[in-house]
């Protein structure tokens, strides 16, 4: 951002042209340290505005859709066995 003049920055994702993933450059000119899970992370000074633009009222817990469908995580069962179990169900 420092080397090039631009008015907007965006997230690289599947929805790269989605307006909620494009923010004014000014939001990222300065960074602050915020507490996070027992440590700190760097965040844009305008972190609240960025979160509201992307998620709306981000303090309200909502169940949302997954981009990855069902996620299977079981450390006690080999992956090949889980695949076989899924074939039986489908």
pLDDT for position 70: 62
10 Å Cβ neighbour count for 50? 20
Instruction: State the pLDDT confidence band at 45, using cuts at 50, 70 and 90.
Output: confident
Extract the tokens encoding 81.
């066995």
> In the chain, what are the domain boundaries?
8-65
Mean pLDDT of the chain: 77
User: pLDDT tens digit string along 55-79?
Assistant: 889 898 877 766 666 666 678 888 8
The answer to whether residue 35 scores a pLDDT higher than 90 is yes
């Amino acid at each position: 951002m420092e080397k090039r003049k631009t008015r907007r920055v965006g997230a690289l994702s599947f929805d790269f042209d989605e307006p909620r993933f494009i923010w004014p450059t000014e939001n990222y000119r300065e960074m602050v340290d915020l507490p996070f899970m027992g440590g700190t992370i760097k965040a844009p000074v305008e972190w609240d505005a960025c979160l509201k633009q992307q998620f709306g009222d981000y303090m309200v817990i909502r169940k949302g859709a997954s981009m990855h469908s069902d996620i299977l995580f079981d450390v006690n069962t080999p992956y090949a066995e889980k695949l076989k179990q899924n074939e039986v169900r489908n």
